[in-house]
Amino acid sequence: MIAFSPSITPTARDNNSLRQVWRTINADSCPRSYNFHMHTICSDGQLTPLALIQQAMQIGLKGLAITDHHSIDGYFVAQKWLNQLNNERNPLVLPHLWTGVEITSNLQGVEVHILGYAFAPEHPALKPYLQGLTPQGKSAEASTVIDSIHQAGGLAVLAHPARYRRPAAELIPLIAYLGIDGVEAYYAYGNPQPWKPSKVQTEQVKHLALKYNLYTTCGTDSHGLNLCQRI
């Protein structure tokens, strides 16, 4: 269980600033300005949280979120290091780090992944989702996941909408009805090098996001040693 920690900074839970950033996101935002989908060894990634935040700074990211599966432990490590730099009055411009998590969910019989951002990790509603385990039963229902993220003051986003057993054109209307805040529009489905969002899927998801008044986000979904690639 994650308990309250002074490392959870007010800026990490600032969803107003996150909304403002999302309004500016475009095809060029990721991976060198913003990245809202990355994994560490705290779930199924290869980077340590410290190595991730150091690489993020080397790249020049302005803002990011570590979205490990069912864990926020990576955030604490990364934020602690940023706090140390800030206390040392380091001349470097530090990136904005929001809290983040990726939760496996059930949407009408289809497994989908919901990303949560800018939430308070100590909120009781999120306890079932920060234990390192895939939720089961009612806790896994997409409606429950979205509601829990909202109760904790966060924003909910459907990850990679075009990677599921049902097409994005069917899933996005369903999850928009449940109150999701956004969709991950800019995503590289074929893992191209260099990273770039998949054109066809991006245009489709952007169109649906506009139709259902949803934010559009971006992320590399990095699991390897390079934040600019998925694998």
User: CA angle at residue 52 from 48 to 56, to 5 degrees?
Assistant: 175
Mean pLDDT, the chain, rounded, equals 95
Range 14-40 average pLDDT: 97
Q: How far apart are CA 76 and CA 31, in angstroms?
A: 22
Taking only the tens place, the pLDDT of each residue in 50-89 is 999 999 999 999 999 999 999 999 999 999 999 998 888 7
Nearest to 202 by CA among 215, 189, 221: 189
pLDDT interval class at 1 (50, 70, 90): very low
Domain spans of the chain? 10-218
Q: What three-state secondary structure class fits 13?
A: helix
- Checking if the pLDDT of 6 tops 80, the result is no
Q: What is the pTM of this model?
A: 0.96
Per-residue pLDDT, averaged over 136-155, amounts to: 98
Q: What is the mean pLDDT of residues 142-149?
A: 98
DSSP-derived pairing of the beta strands 110-117 and 100-107: antiparallel
Identify the CATH class of 10-218.
Answer: alpha beta
Q: How far apart are CA 93 and CA 56, in angstroms?
A: 12
- Per-residue pLDDT tens for 166-213? 999 999 999 999 999 999 999 999 999 999 999 999 999 999 999 999
pLDDT-derived band of residue 9, with 50, 70 and 90 as boundaries? confident
